[in-house]
Chains A and B, each alone.
Chain A
Amino acid sequence: MTKRLLRRVAATYLASGLAIALLGGLHHAWLMLLIGVLLVGVGMVTTLTDSTRAYGRALGVYLAVAGATLLAVGALQRSWWSTAIGSALSVLGVLTAWGKAEMTSLVRGEMDERRRRAASHAVGVGFIAVVWWIVVVGLASGVHGAPTAVWEAGIAVGLAGALGDYALVLRRI
């Protein structure tokens, strides 16, 4: 994909994300606001290149602030979905800023041998996180079984473990 086309795609994401977030905010439609915030994030990731470290940090700060805002709004309104997504976005933002956004290479598909090594390690960690989740929930719930949502949360635990590990390994090697 050419740089010009990428810029257009990113601008579309940014403009539509901002418009949706603004509308969501005005009408107190939190899901709409969340989708807008996420679209702005996708737009920012799309415009990233390896040479823009300062921009990468800015993206991390944006995600962390947006996540913290969602977390606070979710907690105030007792909307646990907003709280959970806000927490995940905050952690993702901190990791992105800390690793100068190199972890977004996973989304952008800009992999080389070092990043593939980190990704391979991350997949292993994600798998182990899911296995431990299943074991711990299975043992804790006993014969009565756990609600479906608790089992589903294992997917988020695995993803968070894998993404976190990817960022950590990239900083280490």
Chain B
Amino acid sequence: MDNRVRELREAKGLSQGALASEMGVSRQTINSIEVGRYTPSLPLALSLARYFGTSVEEMFG
């Protein structure tokens, strides 16, 4: 699934580990989401969208 997680994370100057720590998941999970291997649950997608100040549709649409 194409998404903008990497783009938004890099714009904020965050590492995958730092974002993972903010979201309460593992670094590997953030990496899997970024490369489109893993589709996050709705609560995690909402947390990511809220953290980056955007909507789920904009992030994962």
Residues of chain A at the chain B interface (Cβ within 8 Å): 50-51, 102, 105, 110, 112-115, 170, 172-173
Contact = CB atoms under 8 A, between A and B. Distances in A.
B50 interface: no
B54 interface: no
B9 interface: no
Main secondary structure of the interface of A (DSSP, over half): helix
A114 B17 contact: no
Q: How large is the interface on B (under 10, 10 to 19, 20 to 34, 35 or more residues)?
A: 10 to 19
Given A51-B17, A173-B32, A112 B24 contact: yes
29 contacts: A50-B17, A50-B20, A50-B26, A50-B27, A50-B28, A51-B17, A51-B27, A102-B26, A102-B28, A105-B26, A110-B26, A112-B25, A112-B26, A113-B25, A113-B29, A113-B40, A113-B41, A113-B44, A114-B25, A114-B26, A114-B28, A114-B32, A114-B38, A115-B26, A115-B29, A172-B37, A173-B32, A173-B37, A173-B38
A113 B38 CA distance: 11
A173 B33 CA distance: 9
B29 A112 contact: yes
Given A51-B27, A114-B28, A172-B37, 15 more contacts: A50-B17, A50-B28, A102-B26, A102-B28, A112-B24, A112-B25, A112-B29, A113-B25, A113-B40, A114-B29, A114-B38, A115-B26, A115-B29, A173-B32, A173-B38
